[in-house]
Structures are given as structure tokens and as C-alpha cells.
């Protein structure tokens, strides 16, 4: 008898769908399509030669260790390096506060496993990172969302939802995905102090913090939070779990991210990670360590910043040149994305089909909202990535997209005569 597999799937899989972005990426990989869709770093900035040398050195000098099973916590020299590296942003962690994960996406999944019981409410920004919603959905999360503006999460709206006791808050303070916005320093302080007052943990997801193109670096939430526990030199206290990754600074194919948290939280995450994958690839960790060591990572990040800054500027300029009145967009001071808002009544999913006819792609904004928040308002947005196309493609892509936008708005006007 052939098994009806769907009848065997666990209840937690019921509401799980494929990531809209991953599905879209498949369509938009045809060479004639200019894609502002994925969150892909530019492949022309990958430090290929440095990887080649590092792989050779690892195999010549450390092959036995690099090809063997390793500790779940991660390769100790890499954890030490991360601890040194983040110290410059004021994060005073030791190796026992750092867990290496298989991308920060795995960290989101492990945090879901650690903190979410079915029906728990998670406070998220609206919009928020789709991959986090996907990870948390698998554990039966529900959501309460708080809107963002150009200064990031609107912290003045937090008190009421916090009184209902969400399990934790998930926030992206730097160059948010998808909004491109940055949480102001004042709001960071308000957020941390509210978390403290109501006893609600914060998960701070920071893949883009180093990719700042203008302005001063702002203190991470984890740093502001640790100011509340000045005598905890062993880093056993604190309300913030901080995540970052090498995906946007070295290469996403490495699948290397990390968690910084109080030592007890890390120890529990380690147990959960054992059940997931024993440990992140030893070989990859050792190679990444060899690639990043010395001054290399800093120099490399400088180069990435200058490439992406130019691409951001080209996109902003092209939007100003081609897009019709009534369409707005954010001004990202870093990161990979900007967020476009169409006039009321517009539907970015319909626009997407129109845009594909023009051979240009983006991600409709709807999927960045929890399903209970999706509706006419969430459908008015699109996320544009500016890191993965060359400047001349960006100009041409925005021009093509403007043709689709104008056609879509014209259809709206005809359908709703004033």
C-alpha cells in the first residue's frame, strides 16, 4: 500500500509554506531578467583567491582537525576571533558567550526551538524578516506586530503590546530587511529599557551592521542592555540574544553565523543544536577563520561598502528619475535593501506579474508581514535589493520597473475613477 504522506505530517507543518523569495528566485534567474529580488551579496566581491589560498593551507597544515567532527559550540579560534571583532562595537563577550551556527538562519530556528511554545506570541516589526517568520512558524508562533517608520520600530507604540506579555521581541536595528531603515539611538534606549521593565527578552538580528555607507555606528541593543548589569563580568546575565553572520561580509555559501548570549542560554542552545546538526561544518569554520584572520575581513568589508554604496546611490537616483509621483521609498544608510510604498489600493503581487513582462523582478512586500497582518496595506509594498546588480543594470531595471508601476497605477485609476 502506498502511504498518503500528508496524513503523516506533524501538525506543526500545517501552516508552513515555501519562502516566497526562494520560489521567486527560481523564476528570476533567467539571464534576461534584472532581479532586485533576492538578498544576494554581489558575487563579484567574493574573495575567491583568498579562499583558494586558505583551503590549500588548511588541507596542508590542519587537514586532520578540519575534516574531523568538532565541538558543537564551534571552532574555538573562530569564536575567539568573533569575540575580539565584536568588542570594537562594545560587545564584551568571551568564547563561552558565542555559538557558531549554520548561518544565522539556524540561530533563528534554534531560538524558536528554545523559546516558543505553540500559541506563544512574538513581537515583531511590521514588516520583518520573512525567514524569521518561517523559522518561528514551525514552532507554532503567533505574532503581534508594531509598525516601523524611517527611524525604525515605533517604540512609542510598544507599551500596550508589551503589557500582553509577548514571549520575546525580534528586532533588526540596522538597515532592516526588508525596510532598509535603522533604529535611532533614542529608540534603542527606549526599547531596551522597556524590555527590562516588562521582563521581555529581545532577539537582535544584525546581519548588516557592518555594511554602513554613511553616518556613525550606533550602539547595538546588546551593549545598551549590558549597561544594566555592570558587575556581571562573567556575562551570565542580560536580556538580549544577538545574532550575526559572515553571509554578507564573506560569502553566504559558507553558511556561518553566530549567536552571542549569556553563557547559560548558549549552553542550552548547544544542546538543541546537537539534535539539529551536531555542529557546523568544521572545514568551513577553519577555512573562514583562515580567510578572515589578520586585517583581511576589515579591508574586505571596506571594499564591499564602497561597491554597495555606489549601487544604493544609483538606485536612489534612478528611482527619483523614473518613478511617478505618489510612490515613496526609504533611504537606507546601509545594508542591501530599500522599501517602496505604492499609493493606496496598489497590489505589489499584481505589479510583480506586470514587472516580469518587462524582465525585472522584486519581492512583493506582503510576505514580510505575519499572515494575520496581511491585507490591502501590506500589499502596497515592494522590497528592492541593490547589491546584486551592476550599476547599469540597476538603472535599466528601475526604468523597466517604472514602466510596470505606471501601467499598474493607470489600471488602478481606471478601476477607481475619482
Tell which positions 196-225 bind ligand PLP, by CB under 6 A.
205, 207
Please tell me whether residue 112 binds ligand PLP under the rule CB under 6 A: no
Please tell me whether residue 39 binds ligand PLP under the rule CB under 6 A: yes
Tell me which of 72, 177, 210, 280 binds ligand PLP, using CB under 6 A. 177
- Give whichever of 256 and 318 is closer to ligand PLP, judged by the CB atom: 256
- Lookup result for grid cell 542552545: 269
Cell of 88: 570594537
Pattern 121-140, binding to ligand PLP, x per CB under 6 A? Answer: --------x-x---------
Phi, psi of 367 (to 5 degrees): -70, -10
**Minimum distance between the CB of residue 300 and ligand PLP, rounded to whole angstroms?**
17
- Lookup result for grid cell 508562533: 141
Measured CA to CA, the distance from residue 218 to residue 196 in angstroms comes to 20
Whether the bond between 178 and the residue before it is cis, its omega within 30 degrees of 0, is yes
Please tell me whether residue 103 binds ligand PLP under the rule CB under 6 A: yes
Burial class (CB in 10 A: 0-12, 13-18, 19+), 359: middle
Q: Which residue is nearest to ligand PLP (CB)?
A: 103
Piece in contact with ligand PLP (CB under 6 A), picked from 64-72, 245-253, 303-311, 346-354: 245-253
- Give whichever of 131 and 152 is closer to ligand PLP, judged by the CB atom: 131
Adjacent-strand bridge partners of 122: 143, 168
- Give whichever of 102 and 282 is closer to ligand PLP, judged by the CB atom: 102
Tell which positions 146-175 bind ligand PLP, by CB under 6 A.
172
- Give whichever of 129 and 323 is closer to ligand PLP, judged by the CB atom: 129
Tell me which of 70, 112, 195, 252 binds ligand PLP, using CB under 6 A. 252
Please tell me whether residue 247 binds ligand PLP under the rule CB under 6 A: yes
Measured CA to CA, the distance from residue 364 to residue 228 in angstroms comes to 40
Helix (H, G, I), strand (E, B) or coil at 255: coil
Burial class (CB in 10 A: 0-12, 13-18, 19+), 88: exposed
Tell me which of 245, 249, 281, 388 binds ligand PLP, using CB under 6 A. 245
H-run or E-run covering 306: helix 296-322
Pattern 328-367, binding to ligand PLP, x per CB under 6 A? Answer: ----------------------------------------
Please tell me whether residue 47 binds ligand PLP under the rule CB under 6 A: no
Q: How far are the Cα atoms of 47, 69, 109, 222, 377 from residue 278, in angstroms, in the given order?
A: 29, 9, 15, 27, 43
Instruction: Find out whether 12 and 112 touch, Cβ atoms under 8 Å.
Output: no
Strands (E), 105-151: 121-126, 142-149
Please tell me whether residue 288 binds ligand PLP under the rule CB under 6 A: no
Cell of 394: 540597476
Tell me which of 97, 104, 249, 284 binds ligand PLP, using CB under 6 A. 104
- Give whichever of 166 and 257 is closer to ligand PLP, judged by the CB atom: 257
Helix 282-292 × helix 296-322 angle, to 10°: 90
Cell of 14: 500545517
Where does this chain bind ligand PLP (CB under 6 A)?
39, 103-105, 129, 131, 172, 177, 205, 207, 245, 247, 252, 257
Amino acid at each position: 500500500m502506498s502511504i498518503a504522506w500528508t496524513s503523516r505530517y506533524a501538525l506543526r507543518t500545517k501552516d508552513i509554506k515555501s519562502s516566497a523569495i526562494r520560489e521567486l528566485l527560481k523564476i528570476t534567474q533567467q539571464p534576461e531578467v534584472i532581479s532586485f529580488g533576492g538578498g544576494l551579496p554581489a558575487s563579484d566581491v567574493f574573495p575567491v583567491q583568498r579562499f583558494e589560498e586558505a583551503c590549500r593551507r588548511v588541507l596542508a597544515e590542519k587537514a586532520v582537525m578540519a575534516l574531523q567532527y568538532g565541538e558543537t559550540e564551534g571552532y574555538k579560534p573562530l569564536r575567539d576571533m568573533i569575540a575580539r571583532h565584536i568588542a570594537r562595537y562594545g560587545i564584551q563577550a568571551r568564547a563561552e558567550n558565542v555559538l557558531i551556527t549554520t548561518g544565522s538562519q539556524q540561530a533563528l530556528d534554534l531560538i524558536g526551538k528554545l523559546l516558543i511554545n505553540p500559541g506563544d506570541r512574538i513581537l515583531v516589526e511590521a514588516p520583518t524578516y520573512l525567514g524569521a517568520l518561517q523559522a518561528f512558524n514551525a514552532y507554532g508562533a503567533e505574532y503581534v506586530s508594531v509598525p516601523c517608520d524611517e527611524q525604525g520600530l515605533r517604540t512609542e507604540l510598544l507599551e500596550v503590546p508589551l503589557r500582553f506579555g509577548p514571549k520575546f521581541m525580534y528586532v533588526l536595528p540596522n538597515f532592516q530587511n526588508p525596510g532598509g531603515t535603522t533604529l535611532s539611538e533614542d529608540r534603542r534606549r527606549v526599547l531596551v529599557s522597556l524590555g527590562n521593565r516588562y521582563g521581555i527578552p529581545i532577539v537582535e538580528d544584525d546581519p548588516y551592521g557592518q555594511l554602513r555607507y554613511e553616518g556613525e555606528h550606533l550602539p547595538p541593543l546588546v551593549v545598551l542592555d549590558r549597561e544594566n548589569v555592570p558587575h556581571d563580568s562573567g556575562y551570565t546575565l542580560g536580556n538580549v540574544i544577538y545574532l550575526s553572520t559572515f553571509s554578507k561580509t564573506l560569502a553566504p555559501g559558507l553558511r556561518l553565523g553566530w549567536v552571542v548570549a549569556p553563557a547559560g542560554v548558549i549552553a542550552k542552545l548547544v544542546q538543541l543544536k546537537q539534535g539539529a546538526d551536531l555542529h557546523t561544518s568544521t572545514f568551513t569554520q577553519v577555512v573562514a577563520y583562515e580567510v578572515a584572520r589578520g586585517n583581511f575581513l576589515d579591508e574586505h568589508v571596506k571594499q564591499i561598502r564602497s561597491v554597495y554604496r555606489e549601487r544604493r546611490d544609483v538606485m536612489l537616483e534612478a528611482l527619483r528619475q523614473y518613478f511617478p509621483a505618489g510612490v515613496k521609498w526609504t533611504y537606507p544608510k546601509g545594508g542591501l535593501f530599500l522599501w517602496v510604498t505604492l499609493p493606496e489600493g496598489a497590489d505589489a503581487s499584481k505589479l510583480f506579474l506586470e514587472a516580469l513582462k518587462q524582465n525585472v523582478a522584486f519581492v512583493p512586500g506582503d510576505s514580510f508581514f505575519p499572515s494575520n497582518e496581511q491585507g490591502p496595506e501590506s500589499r502596497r509594498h515592494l522590497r528592492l535589493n541593490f547589491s546584486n546588480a551592476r550599476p547599469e543594470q540597476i538603472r535599466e531595471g528601475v526604468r523597466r520597473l517604472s514602466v510596470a508601476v505606471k501601467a499598474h497605477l493607470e489600471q488602478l485609476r481606471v478601476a477607481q475613477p475619482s
